[in-house]
Structure formats: structure tokens, C-alpha cells
Chain A
């Protein structure tokens, strides 16, 4: 395998189960490169995931890893972070995992501003279960559960997490892999709740149904649909329809949950010892 990555992977678990051209491997490698750049120790870092194709990523990573239940990765991650604030806690989640079954947990983790980095692998579909539409499937796109097109409006998950109170919010794509890696690095480095939406490709269940037969077609779509946030500011909603706005949206220094909790415990140390 690529020797630049090998020390961070469970090599005996490779090749991975993802389909040819699935973007999950591109995002996973970007996360590893970002961690390598930051010099994080494997033993000080925990990956937590839910259920889905994307949520299988931690299984390949030679860190502390926890593969939990559908939509609940942030619940387990919150427990880990509160018990061991010294650890780096990273959540890997799919668009369905994060925004449908796990949507409530996402809102509250952002509201608390707990120091967890969440990387949402957005392939616009439920990959693992065969291509049902997710809250991030584009309106009018085809899915196994929307054979005539999806009538739902699409969540802008970055705006949701911003409104809920996160310290850091960004979006990138697997085509723009260098900026994506930098956005992930900055999110990992941020004290507080960080959310990075990584737009990735499921050529098998999203692409084929939506006139993008190959992984190369899907990367070309990301290339053409992407608009940098600086340019998007001057565009109206009509011009932005079908576009993917990429870049950094939020970067704030605001009180972090475990620090506030520690402070509270210290302030009340005497009350507690007396009880």
C-alpha cells in the first residue's frame, strides 16, 4: 500500500470492502493525512462511527476505534470526551447517519460546543442499505425509494450545524482533495465542536441512478458544481441551485463544554467534598 499512509492503517484489513471508485477511501486518507500533519499520536486519538458504508472507516484505522449503532456515534463520542477530555475524539458519520436518525444528537453536540470533530461523508444517499434517499439527497434526484424523483427539499447540514452553535463548520469535496484535507486539519485543530461535510461519491447507488455512471463522472460533477464560499456570497438562490458551496463557513472561539464542566466542578469542589 501507499507507504505514506501505512502506519495509520490496519493493513491486514485491506483491501477495504468499499466498491471500486467509492469516495469513502479518499476522505479516509484525507483524514489520516490531516492527523499526520498535526502530529497526533494514535494512542491519544479515538475514532467513533455509527452505521453505514462510511461508518466502516474506523475499522481500517489503527487508532482507538468504536463502531457503534446507527445515528448514535455522537452520543458515545460525548461520553468518551466527558470522561477523558485529554483525548482527541473524531466522529465519522454518513449523511443518513448524521442528519436522519442521528440528527437530534448532531444538533445538541453542536449546541454544547463539545470538543469533537465530526466528519460527515455526504454521498447523498443511504449506500449500505441499497440507495434509499436521505435528507441530503438533492430534490428531483432518483433513489430506490424515489423512482420518480425525490420531492423532499434538501438539508443544508452546514447551515443547520452553524445555527445550532458549532465553533467550526466547513464543506469540501473529494475532487478538491487538497483543500478538503486542510479543512479537516483546521477542524481537528479547533477547540470546540467542528463539523466538516465531505461531499463524496457513491457511484453504485447514487451515481448510476442519476446519470453519473462512473466514479470519474462523479468527480467531474463535484468539480463543476463546486462554488467557493467567497464567490457564493454574491450569488442568489437561483444561481446556487444544484451547486456545492465549499470552504469554511464558521470559525469561532467560544466556550467549550468539557472546559466549562471542569470549571464548574472546581468551583463546587468544597460543596462536593462536604457531601
Chain B
């Protein structure tokens, strides 16, 4: 996770206020980019592995995940 004074350059953005810790995005990421923190909320653990397939975004039941498109970074 990035600290507040650094710019977040993660390929995937997770809205912690919406995540309900269901684990779907973590379980089905083909590159194991995402992990659960101590309360089960998804965090971007291995950003360099992300292939931007968007499956985490499309399967999140809580509209909490967004994969940055090229050019957003």
C-alpha cells in the first residue's frame, strides 16, 4: 500500500470504503496480484504482475475495483 504522501501508481485501484472482503477478486486474479489485508480487504500486493485483464473489476460485487486504463498512469 502507498502512504498518503506518495502518488498511487498501482494498476488497480481498490475503494476500501466499498470493499466487503468477499475474496472474489483475490481468488480469481490469474496473476495473484491481489491479497487480503488483516481484515480481509483486498490490497494490491504485486502490482508488477498485473496483466490488466480486468477480471477483478468485472467480478467485484461492490463496485470497489477499477483497473487503470493505459494512459491513466
Residues of A within 8 A of B (CB): 1-5, 9, 14-16, 18-26, 29-30, 33, 174-175, 177-178, 181, 214-216, 219
Closest to B65 in A: A2
* Separation of A215 and B28 alpha carbons in the complex (Å): 11
* Separation of A219 and B24 alpha carbons in the complex (Å): 8
Q: Which residues of B contact A175 (CB under 8 A)?
A: 59
The binding surface of chain A is classed by DSSP as loop
Q: Which residues of B contact A14 (CB under 8 A)?
A: 18, 63
Q: Which residues of B contact A20 (CB under 8 A)?
A: 20-22
Q: Which residues of B contact A9 (CB under 8 A)?
A: 63
Closest to A215 in B: B22
Decide yes or no: A21 and B22 within 8 Å by CB, A2-B57, A29-B58, A219-B28 being known contacts: yes
* Contact yes or no, B27 A216, CB < 8 A: yes
* Contact yes or no, A4 B57, CB < 8 A: yes
Closest to A22 in B: B61
* Contact yes or no, A21 B20, CB < 8 A: yes
* Separation of A94 and B24 alpha carbons in the complex (Å): 22
CB within 8 Å of A: which B34-72 residues: 55, 57-66
* Contact yes or no, B23 A16, CB < 8 A: no
* Contact yes or no, B24 A15, CB < 8 A: no
* Contact yes or no, A178 B58, CB < 8 A: yes
Q: Which residues of B contact A215 (CB under 8 A)?
A: 22-24, 61
Q: Which residues of A contact B62 (CB under 8 A)?
A: 15-16, 25
* Contact yes or no, A18 B24, CB < 8 A: no
Q: Which residues of B contact A16 (CB under 8 A)?
A: 62
* Contact yes or no, B58 A216, CB < 8 A: no
Decide yes or no: A3 and B59 within 8 Å by CB, A21-B24, A216-B27 being known contacts: no
CB within 8 Å of A: which B5-22 residues: 15, 17-18, 20-22
- Top 3 A-B pairs, shortest CB-CB distance: A25-B61, A21-B22, A20-B20
